[in-house]
Amino acid sequence: MWTTNGNNSLKGVRVKRGGALWGAPLNLGLFLPPFIDLNLKSMEKRVDIWADIWLFYVMAQILSLGDRGDHQVIPQPYPHILVESKKKLHGWWEGKRECTAERLLLNPYNGCSVNCFFCYAHALPGYFRLFRERGILTVCRDFDKEVAKQLDSLRVVSCGYLSPVTEPFQGIEAKYSLSLKIIREFVSRNIPIEFITKAPIPEGAIKLLTTQKHSFGQVSILTLDEGLRQSLMEEGATTDELFDNLRRLAKAGLHSVCRIDPIIPFLTDGKRELAALVQRAVDSGASHIVASILDIPLSMAREVWAKFSSLGIEKPLRELYRERIGNSLHARIDYRKRVFGELRQICDRLGVTFALCMEYELRDGRPIGLNRVFMSSTNCEGIDIPIYVRRDGLFQPAASCTGACLTCKNPICGIKELAMGREENLRKSFNLQDYRRWSQGIEALELI
């Protein structure tokens, strides 16, 4: 448990290597995030159990943020602590990876005041648990400077991604501006960066994105019903503001993505409502739609069911959520395929591309991605962004390719490891050391 020292300070604990987590015996199944598939009771079915154990260790290091001492809780504008962070830039998690293009993942904040009750980040360890248990955010002090140092150590990069597990423009951003500063570090080096948001987009962020041709924004919109939106989260932009985000991105000439992510059965899954949402998104300037259906991490299922009970849909949801993939409950595959098929038809009719985010079906006990069935774009986010290399001080595209490394069979960028389409179901993850290794051999790459 998190404790205080009696002086409004938080007494920290640290993640220990191979030992204990938060002073309790190490329990991989309990603390693994939902996107890591580890079933200790069926180890014989896994190709390489040690790969998952290694992945857990890496995740713990990413989220632990280094050594922890006593941290003063700062009450305004939201209860938060400041920590020094040496977090390393890293790519997607392997295993069930569905993301086609490479990204450098960035989380300047741990915890999120938008606080969607269903968000899988509540199931994450480290400082994410601090927010779940006590409502205290963690701010990575001067994280933009650490990011800048790491970028300057590279000659090969991919598009930055703010943020995979937290809201980059949540209220605390007004005090620290870490997301805006990180965007500036990327575009000043001509490195593309994207963000996903449920908050109003700062005008400064849009202006910065316009200086880099492959940078773009994604806006998460769950429903047209403002009252329902307010019941699903504590903060965030209003529904009208969210659509205005799309309009402002498009007006600035930026690729604008609307994410219906997640769709909540019996609340936001009506065909007419989804069609109206997509229509308004397209009218507002969106050129691509991403969707998923809510999955429920087992470690937070009790809270989720309680919330759905208050909304009057717990019973039908329990009947629908009969499939388990990894450490999460999923709606039945026939239901999910029906909804995705309807959305694909809507998008085709309106002339926008469509993709799914982290959606699977089980075949012979293995999760198989559904994007191969429903995606109409080359890349999940509807935009083709190649790997970048540094030449003459600034970064520029390494090749005139689509950047779809997951399906690539011919790595014209010169980095063979990235061409995962050469082997069936090959899924790789890459970290800062990989990018540094590629950087050492950059002289072999030729711009096309």
> If you average pLDDT over every residue of the chain, what do you get?
86
% of the chain residues with pLDDT over 90 = 77
The DSSP bridge partners found for residue 105 are 90, 161
Q: Is the pLDDT of residue 168 over 60?
A: yes
pLDDT 10s digits, 303-349 = 999 999 999 999 999 999 999 999 999 999 999 999 999 999 999 99
What is 215-384's CATH topology?
Answer: pyruvate-formate lyase- activating enzyme (3.80.30)
Q: Is the pLDDT of residue 184 over 60?
A: yes
- The confidence score (pLDDT) of residue 441 equals 79
Q: Is the pLDDT of residue 11 over 90?
A: no
* Residue extents of the structural domains in the chain: 215-384
pTM attached to this predicted model: 0.85
pLDDT 10s digits, 101-119 = 999 999 999 999 999 999 9
pLDDT 10s digits, 28-60 = 333 344 333 333 333 333 334 434 443 444 344
Q: Is the pLDDT of residue 448 over 60?
A: no
Rounded to an integer, what distance in angstroms lies between the CA atom of residue 24 and that of residue 326? 23
Give yes or no for a contact between 281 and 289, defined as CB atoms under 8 angstroms apart. Answer: yes
